[in-house]
């Protein structure tokens, strides 16, 4: 009988994933962790963090206030740059890793635990150095003022999404949580108005339960979308700072190819998804329910419009393509420096610009090579994520070959037989053979193959 642990090890070998940190990296991290934090003292602000249960690598802490005519967003981001010296052992190792990798049986961190789960993490009750963003919003949630500076902060609480949502739903939310439930919807409305897109597609997750694993489709809670909007508005503010200063690193996504957009419009028509005249793609998907088969298929098919994101550096005239189509505006990654390499360097640019100082030369040099490094890291992460899901899918189903299941057809290719189907229980998306699979409809399928050795699952449509 195949063992999942062996499959995970094969994935580590296949993608040449890093193992333990070299001694020089760990030693440098331990020395850096002993440094006394410095910065403007803002431990008076009652910050809190919102993360999945058990998280120790806490990048962001939040404090929301009302102000005359609107709101003030205090967003503290772990100041990894305070601990990591450009060109040092930690930095060079982080460049080979690019970002933290999450596998079902454990994670492969970007930085040693002495920093990522210790001195740099915004753990509750601890004074920590942070890049503290202050973003003022008007009554409609529009940005009217931005500043960022090195500060000392102290988080008061570590909350998870279920707690936050329950507090809001039961009317017990106050302070920052109450304002999050006001600001989040305002920002979502602005996103829709400018043509941005937040897909309501459930995430396919591998969930560990003791020594066992299962697959789930997880629908995000409203408070997760609100929290994401705080991160997005900070990333947009960072991008504008860099564009105004004519130096930086953006996350960009070109507009959808007109041919792809025309195809998705045809798919919407075929599936009965309403696309009113003049409505943007973002406005169309906003009202969809992924539990409805036709909507699920449309969302799956239309992700083609959101492919092709990349990083672009500039030092001088900003790039022609400086916007992110899904966000419908300029955007930069700055809010997850414990888990993503690029955020540390983009934050250093913003701190220098906001202080009216030149961007450090070592940071300028790094900007040139970071896009390629992050592209390689992103490809690896995507490959590992897909391989892990494929492995668990095949493992969960390998003793059920020959059984029949209800499924929804979520993807077909014009002119070719077969396509992809989605099962609800277990939460599987896999290849299905058959002529003229009816996109967006429920069908009955039989499991023909589930092989953990090559991570393959295959169904066939029943007539």
Q: Cβ(459)–Cβ(447) under 8 Å?
A: yes
pLDDT tens, residue by residue, 135-150? 999 999 999 999 999 9
Instruction: For residue 214, list its beta bridge partners.
Output: 207
Cα–Cα distance for residue pair 302/288, rounded to 1 Å: 12
Give CA–CA dist 35/427, Å, rounded. 47
* pLDDT one-digit tens code per residue, 161-207: 999 999 999 999 999 999 999 999 999 999 999 989 988 777 788 88
What is the pTM (predicted TM-score) of this model? Answer: 0.93
Give the three-class secondary structure for 249.
strand
pLDDT on residue 206:
84
Task: Report how far residue 198's alpha carbon sits from residue 350's, in angstroms, rounded to the nearest whole number.
Answer: 26
Segment 271-278 shows an average pLDDT of: 88
pLDDT per position as a tens digit, 5-18:
899 999 999 999 99
Domain ranges of the chain: 4-254+308-394, 258-304, 398-461
- What stretches of 15-119 show up as alpha helix (H) in DSSP? 23-33, 80-83, 89-97, 113-114
Domain 398-461's class?
mainly beta
């Amino acid at each position: 009988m195949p063992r999942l642990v062996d499959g995970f090890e094969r994935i580590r070998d296949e993608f040449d994933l890093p193992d333990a940190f070299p001694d020089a990296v760990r030693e440098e991290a331990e020395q850096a962790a002993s440094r006394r934090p410095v910065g403007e003292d803002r431990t008076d602000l009652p910050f809190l963090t919102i993360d999945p249960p058990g998280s120790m690598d806490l990048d962001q802490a939040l404090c929301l206030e009302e102000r005359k005519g609107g709101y003030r967003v205090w967003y503290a981001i772990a100041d990894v740059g305070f601990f990591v010296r450009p060109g040092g052992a930690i930095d060079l190792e982080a460049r080979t890793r690019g970002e933290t990798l999450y596998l079902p049986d454990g994670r492969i961190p970007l930085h040693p635990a002495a920093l990522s789960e210790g001195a740099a993490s915004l753990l509750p009750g601890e004074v920590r150095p942070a890049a503290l963003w202050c973003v003022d919003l008007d009554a409609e949630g529009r940005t009217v003022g931005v500043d960022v500076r090195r500060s000392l902060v102290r988080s008061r609480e570590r909350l998870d999404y279920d707690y936050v949502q329950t507090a809001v739903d039961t009317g017990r939310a106050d302070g920052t949580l109450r304002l999050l439930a006001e600001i989040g919807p305002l920002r979502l409305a602005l996103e829709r108005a400018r043509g941005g897109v937040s897909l309501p597609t459930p995430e396919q997750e591998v969930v560990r339960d003791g020594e066992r694993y299962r697959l789930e489709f997880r629908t995000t809670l409203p408070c997760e979308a609100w929290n994401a909007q705080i991160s997005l508005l900070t990333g947009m503010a960072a991008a504008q700072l860099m564009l105004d200063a004519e130096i930086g690193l953006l996350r960009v996504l070109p507009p959808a190819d007109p041919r792809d957009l025309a195809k998705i419009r045809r798919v919407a028509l075929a599936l009965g998804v309403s696309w009113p005249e003049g409505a943007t793609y973002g406005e169309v998907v906003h009202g969809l329910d992924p539990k409805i088969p036709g909507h699920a298929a449309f969302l799956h098919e239309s992700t083609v419009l959101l492919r092709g994101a990349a990083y672009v550096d500039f030092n001088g005239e900003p790039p022609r393509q400086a916007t992110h189509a899904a966000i419908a505006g300029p955007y930069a990654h700055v809010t997850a420096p414990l888990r993503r390499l690029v955020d540390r360097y983009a934050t250093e640019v913003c701190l220098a610009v906001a202080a009216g100082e030149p961007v450090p030369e070592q940071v300028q040099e790094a900007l040139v090579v970071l896009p390629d490094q992050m592209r390689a890291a992103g490809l690896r992460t995507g490959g590992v994520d897909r391989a892990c899901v494929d492995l668990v899918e095949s493992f969960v189903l390998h003793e059920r070959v020959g059984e029949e299941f209800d499924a929804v057809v979520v993807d077909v290719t014009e002119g070719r037989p077969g396509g992809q189907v989605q099962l609800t229980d277990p939460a599987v998306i896999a290849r299905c053979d058959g002529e003229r699979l009816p996109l967006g409809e429920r069908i009955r399928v039989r499991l023909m193959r589930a092989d953990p050795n090559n991570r393959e699952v295959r169904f066939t449509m029943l007539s």
